[in-house]
Amino acid sequence: MAVPETEVLRLLRQRGSVRDYKPDPVPETWVEAILAAGQRAPTSSNVQAYSIVVVRDAGKKARLAELAGNQQHIIDCPVFFALCADQRRLTLACEQHGVVYQGQTLEQWLIASIDVALLGMSMTLAADSMGLGTVMIGGMRNQPLAVAELLELPQQVYVVFGLCLGWPKSAPLPKPRQPLGAVVHHERYDEGAVREAVAAYDGELGAHYTGQGRATPEAAWTKPMAEKFSKPIRAKLRQEMHARGFGLE
């Protein structure tokens, strides 16, 4: 049976991160529609353990860009969303009913962070469907305590990642993903198939970058990954999460 051609499938095939924005504003009604679409994402047990801080102030965006490693697109985008894992509302719900919140666990931190990831993807897809562009900013976790102070976040709230929103100056070129053989397994995990598929992906991604005029190593995926993960990344994050009120026990 032929696969139906749907708008969602088309958008996902063409989706790419946008880092170059026009200065044109995004209408407030459009922003609200994207926020509402994000809320339709799945959430564990209807917990909805997230909050969103919408940032348009130029000074705050400039500071967030600095904290994220000097990412210019945070400054250039007309709207920036700080997508937060939020256990504060759960604490307030417990207080309302005379009990003490006992969710200071790794499980609840993970649930909140996953909820935020699903929220962000739903917002991204909604924005794409409206002709807007986005890019997710993991650099919000570079200095999470400073980000929390800037955005006046209460305890039990931290920014999982940011999301730039605006009108793309040009259509992003979708980056090739790893072949299904690298990520999909049937009945058992097949590491031999993974090695073969990843080797093929090195060449495909290299050709993609070369076609854009970008210098790239012969092993276009494995080489950068080996360099990136041969040293600790955000090694203080656990302590910083404790400081934000997340137990992680």
3-state secondary structure 13-41: HHCCCCCCECCCCCCHHHHHHHHHHHCCC
What single-letter amino acid sits at 37? A
Q: For residue range 84-106, what is the model confidence (pLDDT) as tens digits?
A: 999 999 999 999 999 999 999 99
Say whether pLDDT at 4 is over 90. Answer: yes
Q: For residue range 23-66, what is the model confidence (pLDDT) as tens digits?
A: 999 999 999 999 999 999 999 999 999 999 999 999 999 999 99
Q: Is residue 65 part of a domain?
A: yes
Categorize the per-residue pLDDT at 173 as very low, low, confident or very high, splitting at 50, 70 and 90.
confident
Q: Is residue 234 part of a domain?
A: no
Q: For residue range 183-218, what is the model confidence (pLDDT) as tens digits?
A: 999 999 999 999 999 999 999 999 999 998 888 888
Q: Is residue 236 part of a domain?
A: no
Distance, CA of 173 to CA of 208 (rounded, Å): 10
Q: Is residue 247 part of a domain?
A: no
Instruction: Please tell me whether residues 100 and 184 are part of one structural domain.
Output: no
Categorize the per-residue pLDDT at 81 as very low, low, confident or very high, splitting at 50, 70 and 90.
very high
Query: Would you state the pLDDT for residue 83?
Result: 98
Q: Is residue 46 part of a domain?
A: yes
The mean pLDDT value for 122-141 works out to 98
The CATH number for 98's domain is: 3.40.109.10
Total domain count, the chain: 2
Rounded to two decimals, the pTM is 0.95
Instruction: Please tell me whether residues 130 and 193 are part of one structural domain.
Output: no
Instruction: Please tell me whether residues 167 and 186 are part of one structural domain.
Output: no
Domain that holds residue 192: 180-226
Instruction: Please tell me whether residues 192 and 158 are part of one structural domain.
Output: no
Handedness of CA 150, 152, 157, 162 (dihedral sign): negative
Instruction: Please tell me whether residues 211 and 162 are part of one structural domain.
Output: no
Distance, CA of 67 to CA of 77 (rounded, Å): 16
| Contact status, residue 146 vs residue 61, Cβ threshold 8 Å | no
Instruction: Please tell me whether residues 143 and 211 are part of one structural domain.
Output: no
Helix (H) or strand (E) holding 127: helix 106-129
Distance, CA of 174 to CA of 146 (rounded, Å): 33
The mean pLDDT value for 13-28 works out to 96
